[in-house]
Every structure is written in C-alpha cells, then in structure tokens.
Structure 1
Amino acid sequence: MRSCQMPELLSSAFLHNLIHTYGLWVLFLVVMAESMGVPMPGETVLVSAALYAGATHGLNLVHVIAVAAAGAIIGDNIGYLIGHTIGLKLLTKYGRYIRLDEGRLKVGQYLFLKHGGKIVFFGRFVAFLRAFAAVLAGANRMNWPHFLLMNAAGGICWATLFGCGAYFFGERIKAVAGPLSLAFLLIALVAVAAGFVFFRHHEKELELRARAALPDRP
C-alpha cells in the first residue's frame, strides 16, 4: 500500500473535504497550532477555506477571515506565554551551550524592546517567523500589551489579505501566495544576515546599551 505524500495531504480536494466536513474548526485549529510554534500549513488552509467559500458559498468570507485572525491571535498569545515561561528558562539555563551568554540574552531582549513590534507584525507573513515569532517575543520578554497590539494587527491584515485574495481571485491566488511568501522569507533572511554582521561588529556597544536600558532584567 502506497504511503501518503505531503502534497497529497495538502491538495485542494483533501483540504476542501476537511473544510466541508468540519467547517471553520479546521481553519481555527491549524492556524492556532502554527502560531503556537507547531509546523502546520496555516496559510494553505486559510487560502483553501476562502477558495471553498468563493466556490460553494458554503462559508461566509467574513467568518473565514475572523476565524483565521482569531486563531492567529490566540495561538500567538499561547506561544508568547510558552516563550515567556519555558523558553526564557531554557535559554537562561542552556544558552551558554550555543554561545548565548547573559550579555547576548540581554541584547536579544533589548532588540525586541526596540524592534519587536516590526518582527511580530511582519513575521505573520513569513512562514518560519509565523510559527516562532510569538515564542521568541515571549522568551525575549517583549512588552505584552505592545505584543498583543502588533500581533492582532498582523493577524487581521494577514487573514484579510489572503482570505480576500483567494475569495475574489480564486485559484489564481495560489500562483501569487507561494512567491509572495518566498519573497518575504528571502527579505527576512537578508535582514537576519545583515543583522548578524551588524551584531558581530557592534556586539559590545549593543550589550552596553542593553544593560543601560534593562538594568533590572536578568
């Protein structure tokens, strides 16, 4: 018996059947799980749900967008909590094994203090960051009200953009969604590489700034 392959599991027919059978619960649970840090095809399921709504009118587009946004917001907040509790303790205890000493951990917190909102908002549109931005924000002790605001804004914009795109442009959105996500990923990788180079040349300066800005944080 031939084993199922991932492309088959994520085919339009398979996802449409899931959505037809279980409705918006599938969309909510997949998006929420991805936002918590579990590798799941949240964007693919959102596009499929919107395509199903446009083709069959069995779902309401507003409900699709609202459920996807709710799953993103709730999942990200759970991910933030995981990062803030377990993630921070793990980094503090074992970070030295991957060259994350106390000074570098503080620099990470400082960078999230300064730029965490951008990371959380735009991370919603990048596959890797969509799964881990919230956990990283929690582990780096990003201010929660600011996180919640940028997380909600990113989740709503993401759900609206891809939901409306799939609903109004049909299957053609698939030709755009993949390259668009890839473009965001490439931009993120370039930004990370540039940030790494900058960090290597200004590490001591950044550490001094971090200690001055966050004197009471471990």
Structure 2
Amino acid sequence: MTLPQTTTDTAELSGLAGWAVDLMESMGAVGAGLAIAAENVFPPLPSEIILPVAGFTASHGGMSLPAALVWTTLGSVVGALVWYAVGAAIGRDRTRAILTALPLIKITDVDRTEAWFDRHGPKTVFFGRMIPIFRSFISVPAGVSRMSLPSFLVLTTLGSLIWNAVFVLAGYQLGENWHRVEEYSGTFQKGVIAVVAAAVLAAVTAGVVRWNRDRGRAAPGQRTAPGRRRRTDHESR
C-alpha cells in the first residue's frame, strides 16, 4: 500500500520518519512494531509521526487496527528492554558513555530522566512512557537499579499502550489528515505531566497525613499499659 502525499508529507516524512513509513508499507503491522522498537532505542525517531501513520495505514486496510495497537506496544516493550538490559549489564557510567556517543542525543536529557527516577521511583516507568525522550531513557536507571523485571514489563506495557493508542487511534480517525496529530501532541504531554504532578502531590499528602497520624498515636506514650492500674498518691505513700 502506498501512502498518498499530502502538503506536509514531503517535509515530515524525510529521513528517519520516511524510513519508518517505508517499513510499514512493506511489512504492515510488524513494520510498525519494528519502527517503534527502533524509536525506543533511538529517541530522535519521532513516534508522534510513526504512530499516526500506523493508524492511517490501518484505516486504509494496510493492517488491522488491533494489529497496529498490539505490534506497536510490543515494539515499545522490546525497545525499552534494550536499554534496561544495557543498564543492568554494564552499569551507569558505561551506559552514559554509549549514549554520549550517539548522535542527536543530549546527555542532559539522560540526567533529567535519571533524577526523575531517583526522586519518584518505579512509577516513573509508567508515566515516562507517555513523555517523549523520557520514553526511552527511563529504561536506563530502571536497569541500572535492577528494578524488578516483571514490574518493569507491566508498567512499560501499560504506559506504552496508552501512548500508542492515543496516537494510533488519532491517525485512524483523521485519515489523510493524520499529520495534524503532531499539532496536538504537546497538549497530551502537558496532560500527562499534570497527572504526574497530581499523583506526586497526592502521594506526598498521603505520606504527611500518615506521618501525623502515627505521631499522634505515639504521643500519649505515658498512658498506662493495658491491665495495669496507675498508682494513686495515697497508695504510693
């Protein structure tokens, strides 16, 4: 199946994105999965283009919609496992050295992702799958810290499925106007960040409430132990 050209296709589908489209044209849903796996390994590949194109291709019969969702999510998990495995196998410093050597990758983005993981823990694997750049790099500190692999897989699958479904379904609905999806990707990202902030705030609030409750229970430590009666002044004389 050949994708029709739109007024913006030539600019948007050059280079790496054009390669991804060619892959889908020749391999269908499997090609979409391979393209997204590559995007997770090499973040400069634009998932905001690859995923809507997969949805558009599904709308024209190049693949089924369920197949597009399954294969792109599988590709996301496989790509995420690559950096998890690298981080777990060779550690932080050597992994950073590899990332520094790759073109178009800013090590400051890796540092920000690592700091986010250190502050908020494994749940960032779920939310990070819905934030570009973080999508790939969040696997590195998860691997370096030897995060539980089953937990990593579950959180990666769920977060990737949400992100992929939004863009694949948008491309499916928009048809030949699939390229407009990228215009709204920033809004979705801001929504994810807002949810992350709300979740962190809720966790902090719950922790403070729990700490105050525990402190309140511990404060009356001078209470008489059960089964014992406090001696009166008369009895102590």
Matched residue, 1:7: 12
Q: Amino acid of the residue matched to residue 58 of structure 1?
A: G
Q: For residue 45 of structure 1, report the CA deviation from its aligned partner.
A: 1.2
Q: List per-residue Cα deviations over 1:1-41 (Å, max 9, x = no partner).
A: xxxx9735169987555422232333122211222345322
Query: Identity of counterpart residues, as a percentage?
Result: 24
The answer as to 2:187 corresponding to 1:175 is no
Q: For residue 83 of structure 1, report the CA deviation from its aligned partner.
A: 1.3
Over 6 Å off, 4+ runs: 11-14
Matched residue, 2:49: 44
Task: Return the alpha-carbon distance in structure 2 between the equivalents of residues 158 and 42 of structure 1.
Answer: 10
The answer as to 2:55 corresponding to 1:71 is no
CA 1:108–1:146 in 2, change beyond 3 Å: closer, same or farther?
Answer: same
Matched residue, 2:121: 115
Task: Return the alpha-carbon distance in structure 1 between the equivalents of residues 140 and 155 of structure 2.
Answer: 14
The answer as to 2:139 corresponding to 1:134 is yes
Q: List per-residue Cα deviations over 1:153-201 (Å, max 9, x = no partner).
A: 111112222111211233555434343246627976xx99xx9xxxxxx
Task: Return the alpha-carbon distance in structure 2 between the equivalents of residues 25 and 144 of structure 1.
Answer: 25
CA 1:44–1:136 in 2, change beyond 3 Å: closer, same or farther?
Answer: farther
Q: For residue 109 of structure 1, report the CA deviation from its aligned partner.
A: 7.3
Bigger share in helix: 1
Matched residue, 2:89: 85
> Normalising by structure 1, what TM-score?
0.63
The answer as to 2:166 corresponding to 1:161 is yes
The answer as to 2:51 corresponding to 1:35 is no
Q: Answer yes or no: is the 8 Å Cα contact 2:117–2:138 preserved in 1.
A: no
CA 1:20–1:178 in 2, change beyond 3 Å: closer, same or farther?
Answer: same
Q: Answer yes or no: is the 8 Å Cα contact 1:24–1:67 preserved in 2.
A: yes
**Residue 124 (structure 1) aligned to one of 119, 122, 129:** 129
Matched residue, 1:215: none
User: The residue matched to 2:122 in structure 1 has which SS?
Assistant: helix
How many residues are paired up? 172
> Normalising by structure 2, what TM-score?
0.58
Task: Return the alpha-carbon distance in structure 2 between the equivalents of residues 133 and 75 of structure 1.
Answer: 12
